Structure 1
Amino acid sequence: MTTRPFSRRRALLTALSLSSILVLGGCATTGGAVQSAAPVAPYRDTLALQGSIGINYLRDGKRESLTGTFQWQQTPAATDVTLVSPTGQTVAVLHVTPQQASLQQSGQPLRTAADLDSLTTQTLGWSLPVAGLRDWLQGYATDAQGQRFSASPARNTVVTRDGWKVEYMTWQDEQAAVAQPKRIELTRLGAGEVEELAIRIALRPTVAE
């Protein structure tokens, strides 16, 4: 397995990227050190977050890893993601609305598409789950049966309607009255041209809006 920092051509692999450099692996449990069953904090349409991200994928039998940090801002109308290399360079900015998605890479022309799936598929061969991350980063999801899922330290894993397994590994404060995710692992098989795709995100405390 090879590991390298962001490059311009592969900057999108960290989007969402949103997200502290991480090693993929491990699984969540509902026992052991986890004592609190506190529900997740109420969902917010307007939110600012930052953190680190590690992405591991398998393409044509070759496994690769990418790492970096991100800044995430969402409103009811849009999602903006800024991707930063391990050396602190802004390498890509994503802007996503229901009508259009755009990608601005350092030193490259602005790229746009009707939606993020189209934009990232053109660039990477698989799509980044930005729409899902609007929920997942806060501990919410739509499960495989189409039901609303709310995570907690005692209820920390869900498979989404579009085939992602979302695991909440740790929390900002497991004893808090309401829980906020800290470390999230996302996995998916058969994601476009890659056979396996895993994303690991570590969130820092919520940025003041």
Structure 2
Amino acid sequence: MIRPLLIALALSTVAGCTTTPSVPRSSAAVAPYRDSADFGGRIAINYSRDGKKESLNGTFTWRQGKTNTDVSLISPTGQTVAVINVTPQSATLTESGKAPKTAPDLDTLTTQALGWSLPVSGLRDWLQGYATDSKGQRFTASPANDNVITRDGWKLEYVSWQDDAAPVPQPKRIDVTRIALGQAVDDMQIRIVIYPPEK
């Protein structure tokens, strides 16, 4: 089933990045970057393919360690429809009722599974409010510094925060738009809503 696969792949492409960010440039920073982090939330993807508008929605859980990332996509009825595990050596996709698919990396896996690559390589950083801008500089999001165009052609807009007044606010909603995809999918927007962290 290509729809849940697309959502899961969009979420998990991030796991290939395991570099530790440099010190943020802004004093009004988000929480410090964490190699190990757990997130949950909702995702909506709107895209055009071959001139046809498509829309996908789901919820997700995200667990990352220093080198591995595990992403689960959950249907509105509460069933896990896809799981992706990414390690430094491979990326594996397991869809409900199907044999796992494995490739050396996530880009190869997306190309094999979809016929085109979905290069969302920064999401591991984006969920925490960090990115690399179009000039290769480290970007740190904050309520006063809430959008950037990344080096690989994505526009990130940090629309809302878990707590705007917190000394180190954490992202709540991120709108992501592909600026210049140049592939089969020629128009793509992703909306991510991150649930508040558990206390």
Does TM, normalized by the shorter one, top 0.5?
Answer: yes
Paired residue for 2:17? Answer: none
**Equivalent in 61, 67, 83 of residue 57 of structure 2:** 67
Q: Answer yes or no: is 1:96 the counterpart of 2:86.
A: yes
Q: Answer yes or no: is 1:12 the counterpart of 2:5.
A: yes
Q: Structure 2: 5+ residue runs without aligned partners?
A: 12-26
Provide TM-score, normalisation by structure 2: 0.86
Paired residue for 1:199? Answer: 190
Q: Spell out, residue by residue over 1:82-128, the C-alpha distance to the aligned partner (whole angstroms, 9 max, x if none).
A: 00111111000001122210000000010011111111122223434
Sequence identity percentage: 62
* Equivalent residues of 1:101, 1:116 under 8 A apart: yes
CA separation of 1:206/1:192 partners in 2, compared to 1, >3 Å: closer, same or farther? farther
Counterpart Cα distance in 1 of 2:3 and 2:144: 36
Runs of 4+ aligned structure 1 residues displaced above 4 Å come to none
Counterpart Cα distance in 1 of 2:182 and 2:65: 27
1:8-157 matches, cutoff 5 A:
8-15=1-8, 18=11, 38-129=28-119, 131-157=121-147
Q: Structure 1: 5+ residue runs without aligned partners?
A: 1-7, 19-36
**Equivalent in 155, 163, 166 of residue 156 of structure 2:** 166
* Equivalent residues of 2:153, 2:181 under 8 A apart: no
Q: Which amino acid aligns with 1:10?
A: R
CA separation of 1:169/1:96 partners in 2, compared to 1, >3 Å: closer, same or farther? same
Q: CA deviation at 1:131?
A: 3.5
CA separation of 1:191/1:133 partners in 2, compared to 1, >3 Å: closer, same or farther? farther
Paired residue for 2:181? Answer: 190
* Equivalent residues of 1:50, 1:207 under 8 A apart: no
Q: CA deviation at 1:77?
A: 1.1
Q: Spell out, residue by residue over 1:141-171, the C-alpha distance to the aligned partner (whole angstroms, 9 max, x if none).
A: 0111111110100101111111111110000
CA separation of 1:206/1:130 partners in 2, compared to 1, >3 Å: closer, same or farther? farther
Equivalent residue of 1:15, what SS? helix
RMSD: 1.7
CA separation of 1:135/1:108 partners in 2, compared to 1, >3 Å: closer, same or farther? same
* Equivalent residues of 1:143, 1:159 under 8 A apart: yes
* Equivalent residues of 1:46, 1:74 under 8 A apart: yes
Q: Spell out, residue by residue over 1:47-100, the C-alpha distance to the aligned partner (whole angstroms, 9 max, x if none).
A: 000000000110111111010000001011111100011111100000112221
